[in-house]
Structure 1
Amino acid sequence: MPPTPQQRRAARHHQAVADAGASPGRGRRAKPITVDAVVDAALDIVAREGYEALTMRRVAAALETGPASLYAHVVNKGDLDELLIGRLCAEIDLPEPDPAAWREQITGVCTRMRDQYLRYPGISRAALAAAPTNQDTLRLAEGMLAILLAGGIAPQAAAWGIDSLTLYVNAYALEISLLSGSGNEWVVSREELLGRFSSLPDAFPQTRRYAAELTAGTDHERFDFTVELMLDGLARR
C-alpha cells in the first residue's frame, strides 16, 4: 500500500530536518524552511490578498525559494489547507464543559471560529473541503462534543449538531468574505435591496410586505440568531 499524504509529509519533514543539520554548503539558506514557516507565509498571503491568491508558487516566492522546496514539508495544496485550518483551530480556547452554561460555551466556540476565519478572507473554503483528520482540528471537535454531551445532548444528536454548526460557521464566513471582496460589482446595499423588494409586482405580496424584515440584520445578528436556533433544536431533542 503506498504511503498516505500524511506519511509522505512526515518522511519529507524528517529528511528536511536532517538536511538542515548537515554542514552548511554554498547557497544554503541561512534560515531553513519549516512547516511552521510555510503556514506563516501562507496565512500572510491570505490575510493580505484573500484565499483565492494562495498557491504553492506564491508561498515559495514569499519564502524566497522554489516550489519544489516546499514539498519536503507540505505534500500538496490540500495538505497545506489542512495545516492552515489546523493552525486556526489550535488558537481557539476551549472551556471546561459546564452543564449549566453549555449553550453559552458552544456559542462562544462558534463565534471564535467565525472570527478566526474572517481574519483570513475566504479561508473557510479550505475548511469546507478538508477532512477532520488534523489533530488540532479534531481537538476543536472533541471540545465541542464534550460541551454538548455535558449539556445533556444525546451522542448522535451532538455528533450531527457539531457537523451542522461547523458547516454553518464555514459557510457564513465564506459568504462574508465573498460579499466584502474587492471588485464584486453584484453586491447591492441594504437600501437598494429594500427598494427592489418594496417595488415588486403584486405576485410577491409577502416579499413586498416584509421587505424590511427580509433585509434586516447588522453586524452578526443573523449569525447569532441561526446559532441560537440550532441550539434550540438540539435542546428539544
Structure 2
Amino acid sequence: MSTGRGASREEWANQVAALDQHKQARKAPITVDRIVTTALRMVQAEGFDALTMRRVAAALDTGAASLYAHVRNKAELDDLLIGALSRNVVLPAPDAARWREQVLDVFAQLRDQFLLYPGISRAALSAPPTNLDTLRLTEGLLALFLAGGVAPRAAAWTIDAALLYVSAYTFEASLRAGGVDRDEVLARLRMLPVSRFPHTVGHAEELNSGAEHERFDFALGLLLRGIA
C-alpha cells in the first residue's frame, strides 16, 4: 500500500477510509439474539442491577440508539431475558398419574435457570409476560394441571402463586450470594431470653433447617397438595 509519496492526498484519504470500512465490515451485525446473549453474560457476571441498555451497547461496541432499533426499551429487554431462560425449560408430555411430580420438575428447572443469573427474577416480577417463550411455559404448566383434573381457575391461580414463589426464592438467594453463617444465626437465636421467646429458642434448629432446595420442594409440594 502506498503511504502517500506516490499518491495524492485524496487517494491517501480513501485508503484510510477503506481501513475503517473494512473494520466495520468485520463487526458482527447487531441482532436481538446478540443483545440478549450479551445481557445474560453481564447479569451472570455482575448481577441484574448492573444491566443497562447503555452498558449492553458498549459491550457490543455500538451506541444505545442501535439497540433501540431492535429492542424498544429496558422493559422489553427484561421480557426477552426471561423468555430466553424459559426456552431452556423442558416441558414433559402431561401424565395424569405423575402431574404433580412433573409440575415440580418444571418449576425446579426454572428456579435453576434464575439462579444462574443473580437477581434476574426481578425482571419476571416487573411486568406481565408477553414473550412467546414465557407464554409457552405457562401453556405447558396449564396442560399439566388440567391433566391432573385441576379446575382451570384453580390451575391458573396456582401457577401464578408458584411463579411468584420461584421469583422470590431465587431473588432471596441472590441477596445471600455470600452464603449464610448458619451457626452464627443459631447462636444469636439461642441468646434470646427464653421467657419471651420460648418457641424460637426451643426450635432454633428447625427454624434454620433445610439443605439445598428442601424448603423450595416443601413449599411447592404443600401448594400442590392443597388443590384437588
| TMscore range, shorter length | 0.7 to 0.9
2:164 maps to 167
CA contact (8 A) 1:81 1:130 kept: no
CA contact (8 A) 1:103 1:231 kept: yes
1:116 maps to 113
2:187 paired with 1:195: yes
Aligned partner (choices 41, 45, 58) of residue 44 of structure 1: 41
2:225 paired with 1:232: yes
Amino acid at match of 2:227: L
2:216 paired with 1:223: yes
Structure 1 residue 104: Cα displacement: 0.7
Structure 1 segment 100-111 matched on structure 2, within 5 A: 100-111=97-108
Partners of 2:128 and 2:24 in 1: how far apart? 36
1:69 maps to 66
Structure 1 residue 29: Cα displacement: 4.7
Structure 1 residue 192: Cα displacement: 0.8
TM superposition outliers: structure 1 runs of 4+ over 6 Å = none
Q: Deviations over 1:178-236 (max 9, x none)?
A: 1115xxxxx7511111111111112111101100000111111100110111011123x
Partners of 1:135 and 1:110 in 2: how far apart? 18
Q: 1:61 to 1:29 in 2, by over 3 A?
A: farther
Structure 1 residue 102: Cα displacement: 0.2
1:3 maps to none
Higher CA-based Rg: 2
Partners of 1:131 and 1:67 in 2: how far apart? 25
2:145 maps to 148
Partners of 1:115 and 1:148 in 2: how far apart? 21
Amino acid at match of 1:200: L
Unaligned runs of 5+ in 2: 1-19
Partners of 1:234 and 1:162 in 2: how far apart? 12
Q: Deviations over 1:62-113 (max 9, x none)?
A: 1011111100001111010000001111111100111000011000000000
Q: Deviations over 1:22-45 (max 9, x none)?
A: xxx947453110000000100010
Partners of 2:227 and 2:107 in 1: how far apart? 15
Q: How many residues align?
A: 206
Range 29-38 or range 143-152, more displaced = 29-38
Partners of 2:222 and 2:126 in 1: how far apart? 25
CA contact (8 A) 1:52 1:122 kept: yes
2:206 paired with 1:206: no
Amino acid at match of 1:195: A
Amino acid at match of 2:157: W
